[in-house]
Structure 1
Amino acid sequence: MEIAKIPTRDRFVLLDGLRGIAAIFIIQRHAEDLLGKALHSSYLGVDLFFALSGFVLAHAYGASLSDGRISSFQFMKARLLRLYPLYAIALLLVTAYYIRMYFAGLPVMADEYVIPNELLLAFFTGLLFLPSPITISFNAALFLVHPAWSLFNELVANLAYALRGARATPRQIGILIAVSAVLLVIAALQFDRLHAGFRRHEMYAGMARVFFSFSMGMLIYRYRRKTPVIRPGQALICLALLIAVLAFPTPRDWRWIFDLFVVFLVWPVLLYWASAIIPGRRTASVAIFLGTASYAVYVLHAPLLDWAHVIAPGITGPQFAPFAGIMLVALVVIISWSLTVWLDQPLQKRFKRRIFLRDPLVQK
């Protein structure tokens, strides 16, 4: 049987750069001993991820889902396989790390030690990409791979998109955005910020974050400027704005207001603006490199940081900060890019050809 040729479309290069920079800021949150105290607003990069995902998936799959060329099952299978290979590597790395810490009799953080039954249960639920039915003692998390809470939430949003979202009217999308916005306000007031969603009592906040931003990204794609223009200066301004927001030292009393302002207004405006800009050649090269590595950086950085402390404890002490931390971040990015290009991308091409044997699919 002949396989349909997969066409390609224009790539939103500047969006790759935004995603890559946001992923690097997420590393900084989890490497405080090497890079200094976590920046107050860096967690808002996750909300930008959700918005970018809604935009890009609407571009890659929206038309095919709407006219029935691909089914909801095919779409969800493609999404799971898109996330799973690198996630599986992260799951194995973090499980091996916790096993090592258990047999060494060492805490994984502060005074928290690995409980074998919890580790075993979390590993098997993690294999299924599901939250653990019990809260794992270390970090009070639901997943062994910390970023997996957001990936699980995104898969839920992906399912809703496949079943209805791709064919939803602007009014229906607007209602979903409004309901999610109300829940975000409640979450911001309850937790004094939007850094929530990865623990059991916060799960509603995580769902509100993904459905609001994903829906905004989907809506922005529908009403985007159709003709991109080459604006190197504006591209740099977009990247600088992202860095400024993620690094902004928000006062604690105003943090919840700032977070809502960014998610409700700044990220949608930035996405709309950046999606219609073609950066200069050098900026584009960096953006493509960072964008290529971004998902692997996000899902692999925590276990890689953990193992760095085991393998090279002598250079990961605070006396070497921030230089060792900067070198480690660079190493994480290089490893992530290499795994993406040499392992994940070939796998993704194979998966897509098998899933969409007859129907053309635009690659994400």
Structure 2
Amino acid sequence: MNNVTPGLLKTKEHFIILDGLRGVAALAIVAFHFLEVVFEFSKNFLGHGFLAVDFFFCLSGFVIAYAYDDRLEKMGIMEFFKSRIIRLHPLVIFGSVLGLLTFIFDPFSGTAAQYSIGKITLLFLTSALLIPFPTMEERYFNNFGLNAPAWSLFWEYVANIVYAFVLYKLARKYLMALACVAAIILVVVAYRTGSLLGGWAGENFWEGGARILYSFTAGLLIYRSKWIIKNKLGFVGLSILLLFAFFIPYSNYNWLTESLVVLFYFPLLVALGAGTAATQGLTKFCTFFGKISYPLYMTHYMAIWVFANYYNAYKPKGTELALVISSGVIALVALAYLTMILFDIPVRKYLSKKRMKAL
């Protein structure tokens, strides 16, 4: 502990374009979650928005390698874990609180009345502690019924633990071999299930492991291999390319299309994003998008449950439906911003200050 200095724990400079792309992916997944309530998978024009999670996983591997490969040994595994918990867990808890409140007070559903106080308490505690608990039948046995997106955070934590104990020390040739094995597993999962949509429910729990195993490893490999491609596509060009993946139409070969996107296209976009610069006018925009992406991802789903109950009760169509969804997305961005400035940043600053004092 005596060898750990505050300077060693300082956050490194960000890849501005990658921050911006993370924000684009977060917005895409929010829109996808609204639209999947209304449309069947095959008819949803943003039907592959869920692949944003795989992009997050790849980006996470790249960023973790960039941030910690050269200092994990000096800072130690426990300090690494503290850094990740301070960064990630406040919003895990906050998202659980929002999920609990909307579950109890949802004006379009009386489901909460059927649950005992003990069961509701258990749902909240497992959500706040990131313990999968797929018991809510009316919520399709989500691993985290109060805050569905937390399933990917569970796997993010697993990836961070494996990184600290195994992947951090792994030579590049073995990392390459692992990526190849992970790619085979991913394709097999996609072929057997017909899609890479799994990971969020009890019945497809392990599919989440297959998704992060490849993408996180690929992100590490991109950074360690210095596969950074210099280009002038900028934020706008790469945002269009990223959105293209989410708008790919449904087909009978979804398993293959999605596999190719995750195996090759997303790693390429990460390599391109790390190799391009933001124009002066877009730097602040990308930075804002990057900062708001995680709060948006972890706070939006409580509104999706409310919207789903509203939609099932009133069946809005046309202009009314478009207005509700677009207003919902805007409101959730505003909520994410308020969450960031009023809760996430102050809490992380407080925890970081306590940590620095201890050092």
Short-chain TM bin: 0.7 to 0.9
- Write out aligned runs for 1:241-256 (5 A): 241-251=241-251, 253-256=252-255
Larger CA deviation: 84-93 vs 33-42 = 33-42
- Write out aligned runs for 1:171-320 (5 A): 171-224=173-226, 231=232, 233-251=233-251, 253-306=252-305, 317-318=316-317, 319-320=319-320
Larger CA deviation: 149-158 vs 335-344 = 335-344
* Residue identity (%): 27
Rate the CA distance shift 1:293–1:55 in 2: closer, same or farther, 3 A.
Answer: same
C-alpha contact (below 8 Å) 1:315/1:324 kept by paired residues: no
Distance between the aligned counterparts of 1:323 and 1:314, measured in 2? Answer: 17
AA aligned to 1:188 is: A
Aligned length: 348
User: Any stretches of 5+ residues in structure 1 without a counterpart?
Assistant: 360-364
Which residue of structure 2 lines up, in the alignment, with residue 362 of structure 1? none
Cα deviation, residue 174, structure 1: 1.9
C-alpha contact (below 8 Å) 2:35/2:46 kept by paired residues: no
AA aligned to 1:201 is: E
Which residue of structure 1 lines up, in the alignment, with residue 31 of structure 2? 28
- Write out aligned runs for 1:94-109 (5 A): 94-101=99-106, 106-107=110-111
AA aligned to 2:64 is: L
Deviation readout 1:130-177 (Å, 9 max, x if unpaired): 111x53212211112100111001100100001121121112212322
- Is residue 42 of structure 2 the alignment partner of residue 42 of structure 1? no
Rate the CA distance shift 1:128–1:99 in 2: closer, same or farther, 3 A.
Answer: same
Rate the CA distance shift 1:146–1:70 in 2: closer, same or farther, 3 A.
Answer: same
User: Any stretches of 5+ residues in structure 2 without a counterpart?
Assistant: none
Rate the CA distance shift 1:76–1:316 in 2: closer, same or farther, 3 A.
Answer: farther
Rate the CA distance shift 1:190–1:119 in 2: closer, same or farther, 3 A.
Answer: farther
Rate the CA distance shift 1:159–1:357 in 2: closer, same or farther, 3 A.
Answer: farther
C-alpha contact (below 8 Å) 2:20/2:287 kept by paired residues: yes
> What's the RMSD between the two structures over aligned residues?
3.1
Rate the CA distance shift 1:62–1:355 in 2: closer, same or farther, 3 A.
Answer: farther
Distance between the aligned counterparts of 2:111 and 2:17, measured in 1? Answer: 41
Distance between the aligned counterparts of 2:53 and 2:298, measured in 1? Answer: 12
Deviation readout 1:69-124 (Å, 9 max, x if unpaired): 112122122212222212212111211222235x986358xxxx954465443222
Distance between the aligned counterparts of 2:342 and 2:231, measured in 1? Answer: 31
Which residue of structure 2 lines up, in the alignment, with residue 15 of structure 1? 18
Rate the CA distance shift 1:75–1:8 in 2: closer, same or farther, 3 A.
Answer: closer
C-alpha contact (below 8 Å) 1:148/1:299 kept by paired residues: yes
C-alpha contact (below 8 Å) 1:34/1:316 kept by paired residues: no
C-alpha contact (below 8 Å) 2:92/2:128 kept by paired residues: no
C-alpha contact (below 8 Å) 2:45/2:249 kept by paired residues: no
Rate the CA distance shift 1:174–1:284 in 2: closer, same or farther, 3 A.
Answer: same
Distance between the aligned counterparts of 2:173 and 2:231, measured in 1? Answer: 33
Larger CA deviation: 261-270 vs 185-194 = 185-194
- Is residue 66 of structure 2 the alignment partner of residue 59 of structure 1? yes
Higher helix share: 2
Rate the CA distance shift 1:333–1:177 in 2: closer, same or farther, 3 A.
Answer: same
